Amino acid sequence: MNRIFIMDNQKISNYIALAETSYADFTGTNFSNKEKVDAAIIRANKSGGDKGNESDRTKSFAEYITKHYTVVTHYTDRLGTGFGEDGLGNIVRHSGESGFSATLFREGETGKESPNPPKYILAMRGTWGFKDVAADIGDIVRD
């Protein structure tokens, strides 16, 4: 029997919210501490630049995410914390930054008796900053 996968508007909205959340840097964040996760999301979504201003929307956005999802793990290659290949197939730590980041979220409950089994959503952010612009221009030129 073929199963048709249908997404409703709420699921689509939630996935968009998780894509936005993938811009947060959760490096060093205790994922079991919702306040710390909220703070990382708020830092990534500040209004008013880096002046410390934040909107109520930003707080409610962060609270919505942590109410419905749990951050399972986070990877970023910023500040040389990433890994790559050395050209010989060996995985090595590198100091370059591409801005790539990935966050694994869990929706639902864990445990054998849970009526709502967990679903996992992987949100990935590509590059950022000047390297992103340079990569985009290079892609346009090659196309």
Q: How far apart are CA 37 and CA 31, in angstroms?
A: 6
Q: Looking at residues 99-117, what average pLDDT do you find?
A: 77
Higher pLDDT, 96 or 7: 7
Query: Do residues 80 and 27 lie in contact, with contact meaning Cβ atoms separated by under 8 Å?
Result: no
Q: Percent of the chain at pLDDT above 70?
A: 55
Strand ranges inside the chain, DSSP E? 69-76, 83-85, 91-93, 101-107, 119-125
Residue 106 pLDDT > 90? yes
Residue 28 pLDDT > 80? yes
Give the burial string for 88-102 (b: 16+ CB within 10 Å, else e): eeeeeeeeebbbbbe
pTM of the model: 0.67
Sign for the pseudo-dihedral over CA of 34, 40, 44, 49: positive
Higher pLDDT, 122 or 56: 122
Tokens found for residue 107: 């929706």
Query: Do residues 57 and 64 lie in contact, with contact meaning Cβ atoms separated by under 8 Å?
Result: no
Residue 111 pLDDT > 60? yes
Q: Looking at residues 115-138, what average pLDDT do you find?
A: 72
Half-sphere exposure of residue 50, counting CA atoms within 13 Å on the CB side? 0
